[in-house]
Amino acid sequence: MIIFSPNTDASLVSPELSPVFQRFYDALPDRPRATDYLEVGSLPCPKIAAIQRRYIQFNKKNYWVKYLTYDLDYEGSSLAWYDLDLPAPTLITINPSNGHAHLSYELDTPVHLGGHPSRKAIYYLLVIRQGYTQALQADTAYTGLLSKNPLSNHWEVQASDVVYDLFRLAEPLRSISWKELEKISLDQLEEKIKGSKIELPTQRDGVGFRQEYAERGRNCFCFEHARFYSYEIVKNCQTQSELEKKVKAHIDQLNTDFEERLPESEMRSTSRSITKWTWDKRDHFIQTSQKFSERQRQRAFKSHESRRNQSEEKIIEAIEKLKMEGKRVTKAAISRETSISREGISRYYSHLFKKV
């Protein structure tokens, strides 16, 4: 279900805020870069102040990717995902003056980039980013550092309370030869992907499953499309009836693309059939999702430990350097030397100053 962003003030960021926007606020870096005007640059600031700005840093640079964002510089771009039958973005932030938009997909488990990252997760991330960029005709030069702030009143915002794993987002990219790309080293992967053409249908005719299903007719189209949808959402459904209701609503939505709709009885029968099979296999889908997420969490933990150790080494080196130069050792001075925020130093590395 689509919901609209409230007029948000920093003082209103609380558990009462919509879960979509609360998760967004919680996932922001401690001191995200933010600005009201891109042409004058951006500066890091506490996030309680950063959310007042028009543009804000979503992800922790060189650390993790929690949101995949695409910059669409053409009118009506907020519906581009629907026209291509891609998954619904978690956040759609629209410029009301020209209709241009940023489409952001929230990942249930962030992809960590440093320390001991998951090569498979980064591999999926690179392919998905390039594939969706091509399909959506998004700005290929967009770096993703700063995005339109969905908590700013300056933009029109639409949101869906959905999060995705990489497998779900990769579903429309089945034409990619995974085995061929897996043979390439990670260092060469991004360059190769940029130079390749990732095939995605340009019309709403079966993205998310093989093209031949769409060609067999509307019955097969709805069945195949809805079953893939059920595999994704079953882990979040508490009862079989809840799953069936959502699958039925999905099939109803698919039917809007046909001049002659499927009969109501056939839609009910299809949703019931899909629901029964998927619900019987619910444990399998949950376990598969949990195993993948657990692998990502383990990688994230190793990455965090590695980065923390590297940061401690930087701070110790900076302390020694300041001592040798006869300068006063302060957290502000260390922050300037290491580019680690004072807030981060105070929170995680205060113990290094006890002997200073």
Same-domain check for residues 157 and 45? yes
Q: Are residues 139 and 252 in the same domain?
A: no
Residues 245 and 173 reside in one and the same domain: no
Ramachandran category for residue 62: left, alpha or beta (phi over 0 → left; psi -120 to 50 → alpha)? left
Asked if pLDDT for residue 28 goes beyond 70, the answer is yes
- pLDDT tier, 173 (very low <50, low <70, confident <90, very high otherwise): low
Q: How far separated are the first and last CA of the chain, in Å rounded?
A: 55
Do 260 and 182 fall within a single domain? no
Domain boundary (230, 246, 280) is at 280
Sequence-ordered strand ranges (E) for the chain: 2-4, 33-35, 43-44, 55-57, 64-72, 91-94, 101-112, 146-148, 156-160
CB 337 within 8 A of CB 318: yes
Rg, C-alpha atoms of the chain: 23
CA distances from 216 to 213, 252, 264 (A): 5, 19, 20
Average pLDDT along the chain: 75
Q: Which helix (H) or strand (E) holds 290?
A: helix 282-324
316/200 Cα distance (integer angstroms): 50
Q: For residue 176, give every residue at least 6 positions away whose Cβ sits within 8 Å of its Cβ, in sequence order, or none.
A: 127, 131, 198
What is the total count of domains within the chain? 3
Instruction: Write out the residue range of the structural domain in which residue 325 sits.
Output: 288-353
- State whether 46 and 136 are in the same domain: yes
What is the domain-level CATH number for residue 221? 1.10.340.50
Our measurement of the distance from residue 274's CA atom to the centroid of its chain's CA atoms, rounded to an integer in Å, reads 28
Q: How far apart are CA 105 and CA 87, in angstroms?
A: 9
Span 205-248, pLDDT tens digits: 434 443 444 455 667 777 777 887 788 788 888 898 888 888 88
Are both 112 and 65 inside the same structural domain?
A: yes
Q: How much is the pLDDT for 257?
A: 58
Kindly state whether residues 310 and 274 are assigned to the same domain: no
Q: Say whether both 110 and 173 belong to one domain.
A: yes
Instruction: List C-alpha distances in Å: 302 to 114, 118, 123.
Output: 9, 10, 18
Residue 64, both tokens: 């993790």
What is the average pLDDT across 132-141?
84
For 60-107, how does the pLDDT look when each residue is reduced to its tens digit (9 = 90+)?
877 788 999 999 998 888 888 877 778 889 999 999 888 899 999 999
Residues 21, 145 share a domain:
yes
